[in-house]
Amino acid sequence: MEARLDGESEGLTLEPAVTLSAKCEPVFAGSDTAVSQIIHACHSATIDQGLSALALPGLTRDTLEPVLQYCASLQCVTDAVSCPGCKRRSEALGIETLDQFILSKKDIIVGDGRVRLTGEGTESITTPCLETLAKQWSGENYWFWARRVIRKLRHGIRRAHMQGEAVAGDGETPSVILMEPQLADNIGMVARACANFGLDNLRLVSPRDGWPNEKARIAASGANYIIDDAQAFSSLEDSIGDLNWLCATTARQRDLRKPVMTPEQAIAEMRTRISRGERCGILFGRERNGLETSEVANADALIMIPVNSRFASLNLAQAVLLLGYEWMRGDPGRSLGRVTTYERPLNEGLNFGHDRPATKQELIGLFEHLESELERLGFFNPGHRKATVTQNLRTLLSRLGATDQEVRTLRGIVATLAQGKGAGRKSGSKVP
């Protein structure tokens, strides 16, 4: 079985990179390691980290691409084989529901083994929790992952060229602390929210998928400096040891005698404390079940975000984004939208661009021009209503807050409606 590189010359062959194991599964030649396992390792971390973790003789950056091409081009379909953990295997076996998946196994051991699901098959598997099983039972789209790893292998990490930098000094912004984050993608989206709103210090307590993690970098969409500077800790106590004041986010009411604050109140408190030289932090809970009460007990205050009481759950990045927005609102260095070489910072209110507000003299000129033409055309009829109508017109036009250019445009419209345009105006003909 040959694996071919894109653009390979006609007739040029390579040593087989993928062979079939005794179980008829695609494996790296000379080993029992499934193709799916190689792709998973290189996709979940950097390519070099994945290769180092696998430590397979002969598997290097130079020999990796034929393995990836085998999966990315779905050569397994032609060979009528599949990898363990691949979604194609579930489809080939006709397993369409979670119930059918459970029946296909001998038993499924959940967590520490106190919960077991019994089926009719011969294979035993383990899963951390039922929620994970419900999400992952059908398998992964490894052929899609393989294509992403090929791009990384050929072109490097997406947006790796993008560089940012902290907007404040050490300790001048609150630390964002994630308690046992489960998904690397969520960490990446949190990092992006931090970069959006100037929260430079990200701390992770026992991230489930390890740290550093390449999937988090990809999800961060260019917020690389947040990812690069993020610290991982083995315990909550270690992550908050240098802080003077800590607040914890929660959607559930806690039987704890602690101040309950809105995001606005908590950020105001942190600004005051940081200005005195204290270090502050915001603790966010797990995606699945938030913070334990024993963890919240370490906080000096609780943050409860105003939400719909019947649907109070926010995802992790949303919660960080809301707190970050409150922090940036009080920052004098904030910007409305992006600022580039060709775009200057904007302030709240009407954006005049290159124009300026009309002066009172220019507005009075517009009023008198409009009123004189209306008078000439007999608009003020009966005549005693002129004072009231004129007053209303001036009030209306003053309320517009017009620019000098807009006043000139309105005067041009009045002249055209009253006298015509071009040759018609010169000859003195009137527009009916």
pLDDT digits (tens, 9 = 90+) for 6-40: 434 333 334 568 998 888 899 998 889 999 999 99
* Tens-place pLDDT, residues 255-302: 889 999 999 999 999 999 999 999 999 999 999 889 999 999 999 999
**Bridging pattern class, strands 18-20 and 26-28:** antiparallel
pLDDT recorded at residue 303: 96
Compute CA distances 390 → 252, 269, 406, whole Å.
60, 53, 20
C-alpha 271/C-alpha 279 separation (Å) is 10
Residue 333 pLDDT class (50, 70, 90 cuts) = low
Residue 174: other Cβ atoms inside 10 A? 26
Residue 220: other Cβ atoms inside 10 A? 27
Picking from 355, 260, 347, the residue whose alpha carbon sits closest to that of residue 299 is: 260
* Tens-place pLDDT, residues 180-193: 999 999 999 999 99
pLDDT recorded at residue 120: 92
Query: What single-letter amino acid sits at 179?
Result: M
The model's pTM is: 0.55
C-alpha 19/C-alpha 38 separation (Å) is 14
* Tens-place pLDDT, residues 205-263: 999 988 888 888 888 888 888 998 999 999 999 999 999 999 999 988 888 899 999 99
Supply the CATH classification number for the domain 175-329.
Answer: 3.40.1280.10
Token pair listed for 57: 């003789």
Question: Are 264 and 234 spatial neighbours (Cβ–Cβ below 8 Å)?
Answer: no
**Residue 62: burial class (beta carbons within 10 Å; 0-12, 13-18, 19+):** exposed
Token pair listed for 370: 């409009």
- In the chain, what are the domain boundaries? 1-94+139-156, 96-137, 175-329, 360-426
Residues 6+ apart with CB under 8 A from 288: 129, 131, 182
- Quick one: average pLDDT of 386-403? 91
CB-based burial, 341-350: b 16+ in 10 Å, e otherwise: eeeeeeeeee
